[in-house]
């Protein structure tokens, strides 16, 4: 049946996957260069936290601006502009000569990367029926993990041979190659010449009318809708945990278990590889339940509750006596986060018409970034406090307890605002 209807929509997913991979590769570089840059620029944990917060603040602004812009100018042009912007910012980071300079370039990077998920989720809404959206989202979202896997392999080698400036130039420049393939390959389904009539019918098989040509909804209007707040709280309470995994895990392994970050790190590769399995598997599970006849809202809610529970064992990391015990616990938690992420993104297209999807994802992403601003500040304060007393590991243990409860709280808030995830009529 799949051969009869065609498979071009999965080519679109591949494009989204590589864009997300590049995005997270550019983000992860600074975490792996942290020990080197700390020595060169005399950073403490609070200085590094401020750089993370600068990125997050700009990322929040970028999400809000890009969500509305992409709904107005379309997915193809909107995605192109976003990738070109953040790739240029990544390359220019090599010019930084001070902590303030790093803050400026990380802010520019965040502003551009704010366009990735609004554009990608809108692309999935345009190209997939609901029963396939979570799997498609899980596949492209796994690019976040692949980027985090590639970085520990690439960056230490580039650092050793060429220095930290070249690491930023190479990773930032990859995005310009992606743009070529995007321009050649992407169009809306109704306009794409490579699409068979059968595949187009499959894509449009949902009852929802294709409203992509209609005037987009003003994003301020969306704040009066309770489903928006369900998505907002789901993102705000859980996105910061993922930022912690990205920006502090290398440092945690280095300070607690003396991992050498100047060499490729098998431990980090295993953690981020596990998140790839979680992302794709999480998308598959809810889609499988829907195909079995479950209502969409129930399939998403049950799947997300199971992922929230799977994060909780990370609180046991404080009892780990060797690095591999910690790797197992953190791998499960990080994989569960990405499974959660694949599904929460899909709830936006479940509850909102296509003309509002990018704006809703932008608003929710902004909320996640606000949490991502506050949480790094708290992480930096906790770690500096315990580092002064000579027990930084105790600081990480407190943070792991917060991580363990965050997803259950987020699930409860989503259930409160959208018990059955009813479709919004705008």
Task: Flag whether pLDDT at 177 surpasses 80.
Answer: yes
Query: Using 50, 70 and 90 to split pLDDT, how confident is the model at 208?
Result: low
Condensed to tens digits (0 to 9), the pLDDT of residues 104-121 reads 998 999 999 988 988 998
State the number of CA atoms in the 13 A half-sphere of 236 facing the CB. Answer: 16
Query: Is 357:120 a contact under the CB 8 Å cutoff?
Result: no
CA dist., res. 66 & res. 70, Å (int): 6
Yes or no: say if 242 and 406 are a contact pair by the CB < 8 Å rule.
Answer: no
Closest CA to 381 of 392, 369, 370: 392
Residue ranges per domain, the chain?
Answer: 2-206+214-417
pLDDT of residue 127 exceeding 90: no
Alpha-carbon distances of 395 from 111, 124, 176, 200, 381, rounded to whole Å:
30, 40, 40, 53, 9
Q: CA angle, 72 as apex, 242 and 65 as ends, to 5°?
A: 40
Q: Flag whether pLDDT at 2 surpasses 60.
A: no
- Band (pLDDT 50/70/90 cuts) for residue 215 is low
pLDDT digits (tens, 9 = 90+) for 292-348: 889 888 999 999 999 999 999 999 988 888 899 999 999 999 999 989 988 998 888
Q: What's the distance, Cα to Cα, between the start and end of the chain in Å? A: 35
Average pLDDT of the residues of the chain: 84
Residues in CB range of 419: below 8 A, 6 or more apart: 297
**CATH class for the domain made up of 2-206+214-417:** mainly alpha
**Using one digit for the tens of pLDDT, what is the confidence trace for 24-50?**
888 878 888 887 888 888 887 778 888
* Cα separation, 169 vs 405, whole angstroms: 38
Cα–Cα distance list, 373 to 106, 201, 222 (Å):
13, 43, 23
Q: What is the 3-state secondary structure (H, E, C) of the chain?
A: CHHHHCCHHHHHHHHHHHHHHHHHHHHHHHHHHHHHHHHHHCCCHHHHHHHHHHHHHHHHHHHHHHHHHHHHHCHHHHHHHHHHHHHHHHHHHHHCCCHHHHHHHHHHHHHHHCCHHHHHHHHHHHHCCHHHHHHHHHHHHCHHHHHHHHHHHHHHHHHHHCCHHHHHHHHHHHHHHHHHHHHHHCCCHHHCCCCCHHHHHHHCCCCCCCCCCCCCCCHHHHCCCHHHHHHHHHHHCCHHHHHHHHHHHHHHHHHHHCCCCCCCCHHHHHHHHHHHHHHHHHHHHHHHHHHCCCCHHHHHHHHHHHHHHHHHHHHHHHHCCCHHHHHHHHHHHHHHHHHHHHHHHHHHHHHCCHHHHHHHHHHHHHHHHHHHHHHHHHHHHHHHHHHHCCCHHHHHHHHHHHHHHHHHHHHHHHHHHCCCCCCCCC
**Exposure string for 301-339, b = 16+ CB within 10 A, e = fewer:** bebbbebbebbbbbbebeebeeeeebbbbbbbbbbbbbb
**CA 121, 125, 128, 130: dihedral to nearest 10 degrees?**
100
Give residues with Cβ within 8 angstroms of 242, minimum separation 6: 334, 337, 338, 341
Who wins on pLDDT, 145 or 17?
17
**pLDDT of the residue at 313:** 94
- Residue 403 in this model has a pLDDT that exceeds 50: yes
pLDDT above 80: residue 59:
yes
Write down the pLDDT at residue 330.
Answer: 92
In 3D space, the residue among 234, 212, 232 whose CA is nearest the CA of residue 78 turns out to be 212
User: At CA 132, angle to CA 129 and CA 137, rounded to 5?
Assistant: 110
Phi, psi for residue 342 in degrees, rounded to 5: -60, -35
If we measure between CA atoms, which residue out of 242, 61, 262, 212 comes closest to residue 141? 242
- The pLDDT > 90 percentage for the chain reads 25
Per residue in 267-287, pLDDT (tens digit) is 888 887 888 888 888 878 888
With cut-offs at 50, 70 and 90, classify the pLDDT of residue 1. very low
Residues, the chain, total?
A: 426
Give the residue from 137, 148, 147, 150 showing the smallest Cα distance to 340. Answer: 137
- pLDDT tens per residue across span 348-364: 888 988 778 778 887 88
């Amino acid at each position: 049946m799949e051969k009869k209807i065609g498979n071009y929509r999965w080519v679109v997913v591949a494009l989204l996957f590589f864009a997300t991979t590049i995005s997270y590769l550019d983000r992860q570089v600074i975490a792996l260069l942290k020990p080197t840059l700390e020595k060169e620029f005399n950073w403490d944990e609070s200085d590094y936290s401020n750089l993370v917060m600068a990125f997050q603040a700009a990322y929040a602004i970028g999400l809000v601006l890009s969500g509305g812009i992409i709904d107005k100018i379309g997915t193809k042009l909107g995605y192109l502009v976003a990738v070109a912007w953040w790739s240029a910012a990544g390359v220019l980071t090599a010019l930084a000569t001070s902590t303030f300079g790093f803050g400026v370039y990380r802010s520019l990077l965040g502003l551009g990367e704010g366009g990735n998920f609004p554009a990608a989720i809108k692309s999935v809404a345009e190209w997939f029926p609901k029963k396939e959206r979570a799997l498609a989202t899980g596949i492209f979202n796994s690019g976040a993990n692949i980027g985090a896997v590639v970085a520990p392999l690439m960056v230490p080698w580039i650092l050793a041979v060429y220095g930290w400036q070249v690491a930023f130039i190479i990773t930032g420049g990859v995005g310009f190659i992606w743009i070529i393939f995007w321009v050649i390959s992407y169009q809306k389904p109704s306009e794409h010449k490579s699409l068979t009539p059968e595949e187009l019918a499959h894509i449009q098989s949902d009852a929802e009318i294709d409203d992509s040509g209609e005037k987009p909804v003003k994003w301020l209007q969306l704040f009066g809708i309770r489903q928006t707040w369900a998505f907002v709280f789901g993102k705000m309470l859980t996105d910061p945990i993922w930022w912690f995994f990205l920006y502090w895990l290398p440092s945690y392994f280095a300070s607690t278990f003396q991992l050498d970050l100047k060499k490729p790190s098998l431990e980090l590769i295993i953690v981020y590889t596990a998140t790839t399995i979680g992302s794709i598997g999480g998308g598959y599970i809810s889609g499988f339940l829907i195909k079995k006849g479950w209502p969409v809202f129930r399939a998403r809610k049950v799947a997300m509750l199971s992922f929230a529970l799977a994060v909780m064992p990370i609180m046991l990391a404080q009892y780990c006596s060797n690095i591999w015990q910690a790797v197992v616990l953190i791998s499960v938690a990080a994989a569960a986060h990405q499974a959660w992420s694949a599904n929460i993104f899909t709830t936006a297209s479940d509850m909102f018409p296509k003309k509002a999807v990018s704006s809703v994802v932008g608003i929710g992403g902004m909320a996640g970034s606000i949490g991502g601003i506050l949480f790094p500040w708290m992480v930096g304060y906790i770690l500096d406090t315990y580092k002064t007393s000579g027990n930084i590991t105790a600081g990480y243990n407190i943070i792991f307890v917060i991580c363990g409860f965050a997803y259950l709280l987020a699930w409860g808030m989503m259930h409160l605002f959208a018990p059955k995830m009813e479709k919004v009529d705008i």
